[in-house]
Amino acid sequence: MRLGQLTGGNEDAAVTGFAIDHRKVAPGTIFGAFRGARVNGEDFIADAIRAGAIAVVARPEAVVKGAVHIVDDEPRAAFARAAARFFGPFPDTVVAVTGTNGKTSTVEMVRQLWRMTGHHAASIGTLGVTTADERVTTGLTTPDVVTFLSNVAGLAREGVTHLAFEASSHGLTQYRTEGLTVGAAAFTNLSRDHLDYHGDMAAYLTAKMRLFSEVLSPDGTAVVWADDPESARVVDLARERGNRLITVGTRGSTLRLVGREPSLLGQGLTIEAEGATHRIELPLIGAYQAANALVAAGLVIATGGPVVPTLQALARLQPVRGRLERAAIAKSGAPIYVDYAHTPDALEAAIAALKPHAAGQLIVVFGAGGDRDTGKREPMGQVAAAQADRVIVTDDNPRGEDASVIRRAVLKGAPDAIEIGDRRTAIAAAIRDAGPADIVLIAGKGHEQGQIVGDMVLPFDDVAVARECVG
């Protein structure tokens, strides 16, 4: 592809690739020079040109000598648009999910529902790139735009026709998911998270809303979990833009949840849709799993799936890795669950999901991450203290912070909790003390395969550790 085809100019140089890291530039590369929170890519423009960059996407005031300067006040957006033209084509049907909690489960459920109806489907998010037969971990909910677009194009070449991806607030703010035609977008919920990056809840919500104000196709569909207090913002925005609207939940009009009864291994859902009442046995526990399933069904319906068969397919959904995943059964008979809950709202939802199933005590093991929003630590402790029967506060991913300082902040909200810093020891203690009528919840890390301590990532998998402790 020639440079002029991407810029609209007459440049005849051959484009070989895109990069936002000057160390990855090769001859023929278009370099994106962006100002970041810690690093300013404009400082490396000269290095990128020496390495062979033929064009640089940067702000008007950036100094570019020896290469074409693609000027834009929002260079991330311009870079993403050009990269999309270079990497495409992409799958024909693309949907995106945003919200604080539920993104991972929802995109994976969408993928499963599509697969059940014969589509070659994939999902991209926290779990990585997931298809019917393989998973490749990316390490980020929303990878950088070059990785994202090249992955999506690769899926299309492999025959994937349907794609669901997570749209994180970081990814939306940094234009990491631009360039695709998004036919449907979903909003799950909003609660406190990532305020270390966004500053306040207003900015956090604004970042989420970009999915509906700019990324969603003008003729696309907005799917909204109507029971969240912020859902009205999404509904209003969809109506302003003239998007089709699908609302789900107890306040939903498309898929209305009128009943939910917990069972031993799942829950029965009573749903009103198209003037009829449908009874579905969802093989997943927890109110929030029901919410994720209905949002996923809404996205499938938005992209052409028939209502009744889609609802019936919910009965065949499989659990999502690290999302209320039953890891093991203790020798006492107590089930042990692992969940990714790492915010007060998510922790409360996970506890609420398991509480009806515990004839005895609900034992919760959790911590809080370092170098992240410090204001959520005490509220997480308060949630655990108020909702669980026994609480063990341990380490999560301390990162660059003193782990004991993080634990003390959590313990302010749960002063009667047991403190065990070593996570393996804490998990072992919870399992050892669990009686036959109890349930153990290990929260915070979910699917993660490592524990970040300082600048090291130590191998650690909550599910594997739980099974080792049982064994």
Task: Note the pLDDT tens digit of each residue in 241-290.
Answer: 999 999 999 999 999 999 999 876 789 999 999 999 999 999 998 888 99
Cβ atoms of 454 and 318 closer than 8 Å = no
**Among the ranges given (5-19, 112-126, 181-195, 384-398), the one the predictor scored with the smallest mean pLDDT:** 181-195
Q: What is the pLDDT of residues 114-125, one digit of tens each?
A: 999 999 999 998
Identify the residue with better confidence: 300 or 104: 300
Strands, E assignment, 147-243: 162-166, 182-187, 216-225
Cβ atoms of 391 and 384 closer than 8 Å = yes
Q: What pLDDT band is residue 198 in, cutting at 50, 70 and 90?
A: very low
**Among the ranges given (39-48, 188-197, 202-211, 217-226), the one the predictor scored with the smallest mean pLDDT:** 188-197
- pLDDT greater than 70 at residue 200: no
Among 455, 335, 451, 314, which residue's Cα sits nearest to residue 396? Answer: 451
Helix (H) or strand (E) holding 453: strand 450-453
* Domains of the chain with bracketed CATH: 3-86 (3.40.1390.10), 88-316 (3.40.1190.10), 325-470 (3.90.190.20)
Query: Using CA atoms, how far apart are residues 210 and 216, in angstroms rounded to an integer?
Result: 9
| Both tokens assigned to 303 | 């992209």
Given this model, what pLDDT does residue 137 score?
63
| Both tokens assigned to 385 | 């203290």
The residue-averaged pLDDT of 441-456 equals: 94
Distance of CA 394 to the CA centre of its chain: 24
Query: Using CA atoms, how far apart are residues 358 and 295, in angstroms rounded to an integer?
Result: 27
Query: Using CA atoms, how far apart are residues 393 and 381, in angstroms rounded to an integer?
Result: 8
Instruction: Rank 189-198, 347-356, 367-376, 420-429 by mean pLDDT and report only the highest.
Output: 420-429
Q: What pLDDT band is residue 144 in, cutting at 50, 70 and 90?
A: confident
Q: What pLDDT band is residue 193 in, cutting at 50, 70 and 90?
A: low
- pLDDT greater than 50 at residue 222: yes
Query: 351 to each of 31, 361, 364, 365, 407, how far by Cα in Å?
Result: 47, 11, 8, 11, 20
**Among the ranges given (65-74, 187-196, 249-258), the one the predictor scored with the smallest mean pLDDT:** 187-196
The residue-averaged pLDDT of 277-304 equals: 95
Please state the residue numbers annotated as binding site.
99-105, 141-142, 168, 174, 176, 372, 396-399, 444, 448
- pLDDT greater than 50 at residue 457: yes
Q: What is the pLDDT of residues 306-316, one digit of tens each?
A: 999 999 999 99
Please state the residue numbers annotated as binding site for meso-2,6-diaminopimelate.
372, 396-399, 444, 448
Given this model, what pLDDT does residue 374 score?
93
Given this model, what pLDDT does residue 175 score?
86
Burial 48-81 (b: 16+ CB within 10 A, else e): bbebebbbbbbeeebebeebbbbebeebbbbbbb
The torsion defined by the Cα of 191, 197, 199 and 200, in degrees rounded to 10, comes to -10
Q: What is the pLDDT of residues 5-18, one digit of tens each?
A: 887 777 889 999 99
Among 413, 445, 406, which residue's Cα sits nearest to residue 321? Answer: 445
465 CB-side CA count, 13 A: 24
Identify the residue with better confidence: 143 or 349: 349
What's at 51, amino acid-wise?
A
Q: What pLDDT band is residue 465 in, cutting at 50, 70 and 90?
A: very high
The residue-averaged pLDDT of 209-227 equals: 94
Among 281, 283, 310, 306, which residue's Cα sits nearest to residue 295? Answer: 310
Q: Record the pTM.
A: 0.80
Q: What is the pLDDT of residues 335-377, one digit of tens each?
A: 999 999 999 988 998 999 899 888 899 999 999 999 988 999 9
- pLDDT greater than 80 at residue 47: yes
Among 303, 258, 295, 293, which residue's Cα sits nearest to residue 278? Answer: 258
Summary mean pLDDT of the chain: 92
Residues 6 or more apart in contact with residue 456 via CB below 8 angstroms: none
- pLDDT greater than 80 at residue 197: no
Q: What pLDDT band is residue 201 in, cutting at 50, 70 and 90?
A: low
Q: What pLDDT band is residue 39 in, cutting at 50, 70 and 90?
A: confident
Tokens 């809303």 belong to 209
Query: 467 to each of 329, 354, 437, 470, how far by Cα in Å?
Result: 8, 19, 19, 5
Given this model, what pLDDT does residue 199 score?
55
Please state the residue numbers annotated as binding site for ATP.
99-105
